[in-house]
Amino acid sequence: MDFDSLIENKSGLGTAGIVVINKNQDIVSCMARIARFYKHESCGQCTPCREGSGWMWRILDRATKGETTLSDIDLLDDVTKQIEGHTICAFGEGSAWPVQGLLRHFRKEVDKKCSNDPLIKKKKDVPYLVDQHLLEKKNA
C-alpha cells in the first residue's frame, strides 16, 4: 500500500490515516457519519465547503434511511465536483473525495438505497425542500 499503487486503483492515501470498516457495516451510513464530521468541522470561510459539506451530509443521511432517489445521487456527485478545486484549503477536497470514493467503489450499495419515489411525490416535510409548502392544500 503506497501512494502510487493506490492512485492506480483510483484511490488515495490522503493523510495516511486509515479507518478499517467491517464488511457487515452499512457503508452509506458510515459515509454519512464522516460527512457529518466534515460539515461540523468546516470553518465556513469558503461557500463551496460550508454549503457543500452540509448538502453532502443531508443527502447521505437521507440515503441511509432509504429516502433518496437516483437523481439525488447524481446531485450528490455534482456537489462533490462543486467543492473540489474551489476552496482555499484542502479541507474541501478532504470532504468531497471520500464521497466520490463511495460513489466510485460502492455504487451498488448506494443505488440499493434509492428504490423510493421522489420525496416531492410523497409530500414529506423535508426542511430544505423549499417548495414543500406549495404542495400543502392549506397553502394552495
Q: Which residues bind ligand SF4 (CB under 6 A)?
A: 42-46, 49-50, 87-89, 91-92
For 32, 58, 95, the CA distances from 44, given in Å and listed in that order, are: 19, 17, 13
Residue with cell 490515516: 17
Phi, psi for residue 114 in degrees, rounded to 5? -115, 40
Q: Smallest distance, Å, CB 60 to ligand SF4?
A: 18
Among residues 92 and 98, whose Cβ is nearest to ligand SF4? Answer: 92
Among residues 54 and 92, whose Cβ is nearest to ligand SF4? Answer: 92
Among residues 43 and 70, whose Cβ is nearest to ligand SF4? Answer: 43
